[in-house]
Chain A
Amino acid sequence: MTGGGVSGSDMPSLPWTARRDVSPVEDTSLDALLAGNGRPADAGADLRPVADVLAALAARPAGDELTGLAAAQAEFRRHVVPPARVRHARRRRGRLASRLGAKVGAAFGVAVMGLAGAAAAAYAGVLPASWQQFAHRTVGAPAHVAAHDTGAAGSAARRPCAAYQHALAHGTASQQAAALRNLAQVAGGAAKVTGWCARASHSRHPAQQAYPSAPLARRGSPHHIRPPHHAVAPAVRPSGSPSPWPSAWPTAPPSGHGGVPPSPLPHPTPTISPSGPG
């Protein structure tokens, strides 16, 4: 029992007892220690051990306190650095794509130009035999006329004429222009085209009228050419519409050839009146 009549077991059990040898410490001194302003040498005797403890708490890092840097850096690279790299990679991919696109576009343009040129050449009939046949099968260009059929000179002479006629029937305006240009070049000038093609048609073999394997023009069209079934069949069925040929074009095959069918080149005026109702 204490003097106050309170049982000793009822007294609060403090975890430590106040030591009389520890002098009271000013709050300002404690604040200075916490702020790191108090050094052990400057602290009072009572606080000097505490200051040493605080200095040890803030000592230089030990080796085991620096482990884990690699993992943190990896995490940093994964979450902080990657967006920039991704953007960079995207920019690179974009540049690469644009470069590739430009290259592909250029290659495509060259290919288109090449094909267009090849098509023009095919319609002009100036390709080598195998190529001309291929163009004939694929794009409807004039067929190659074998040299042994009509003679090399005749074939070579007729080819531009036939090409121009075919272009007129099936080709576009540019193809027609290309064929005419080629024809004029072969004939020695635009003014000589008519005579040149007339002479070329005269040298044709009777069995090789027009374009033996060339696709026929649409029936009823101004350029429709009847296929030569036999020598006496009329070659041209006039449609009654104006001819597309230039005015300087030969009018008709020369007479006196008997069974030789006339030239496929149409006349400026129909030689046979169309039969029709009325």
Chain B
Amino acid sequence: MLATAQRGSEAAFTRLWLDANPALVRYLRVIAPGAADDVAADTWVNVVRGLRRFRGDEAAWRAWLFTTARRRAIDASRRQSRRREEPLHEVPAEALPVTADAADEAMERLATRSALALLARLPRLQAEVILLRVVAGLDTDAVARLLGRNPGAVRVASHRGLRRLAEILAEAGVTL
């Protein structure tokens, strides 16, 4: 599919986009709250422009897509911080993606957005590792390369994140 898209097949590219964009948006909604859609569009612009030059299989391409998304999210965060001249800790709580009743929503219905809101309550590295493993479908080594860390640290971060998630859910009384 990737090779076909690289040869100029719009149908193949559409398949790739439909497969990857939901995961991309979910990832960005956690690491770039408030700018996920813009960062996703920016990411696709960059990826499309480099599509013909890309060399690798679809797993590598997917890793490249999320690497690009992460860089664009960091750029967007810097632009946002310069524009607002406002430290992150001064952002009002209602502007953060984490809703106060995220756990309650999770109890009622584990919709995707609720799950993302729960994940956003984790430390950034843990949330990002879980998202890249579960949502993006990358293996530990790929996540380690993407984050610039060693695979052991990634594995530890993912385990801690899952345990913390379990604690949050237990605190909320979700005992299935």
Contacts and interface: CB of A to CB of B under 8 A. Distances in A.
A80 B48 contact: yes
A36 to B, nearest CB: 7
A2 B74 CA distance: 43
B14 A73 contact: yes
A42 interface: no
B48 A72 contact: yes
Contact of A33 (B18, B21, B106, B162): B162
A68 B44 contact: yes
B166 A50 contact: yes
A112 interface: no
A148 interface: no
Interface residues of B, number: 51
A187 to B, nearest CB: 74
Contacts, number: 142
B149 to A, nearest CB: 16
Contacts of A62: 22, 112
Contacts of A47: 162, 166
Interface in A45-80: 45-50, 52-59, 61-62, 64-69, 71-73, 75-77, 79-80
Interface in B107-165: 110-112, 114-116, 118-119, 130-131, 133-135, 155, 158-159, 162-165
A153 interface: no
A49 B134 contact: no
A6 B175 CA distance: 36
A50 B51 contact: no
A19 interface: yes
A31 B115 CA distance: 19
Interface of A: 16, 18-19, 21-22, 25, 27, 30-31, 33-36, 40, 45-50, 52-59, 61-62, 64-69, 71-73, 75-77, 79-81, 83-84
Q: Which 7 A-B pairs have the closest CB atoms?
A: A61-B22, A56-B115, A49-B169, A65-B22, A56-B110, A72-B44, A49-B174
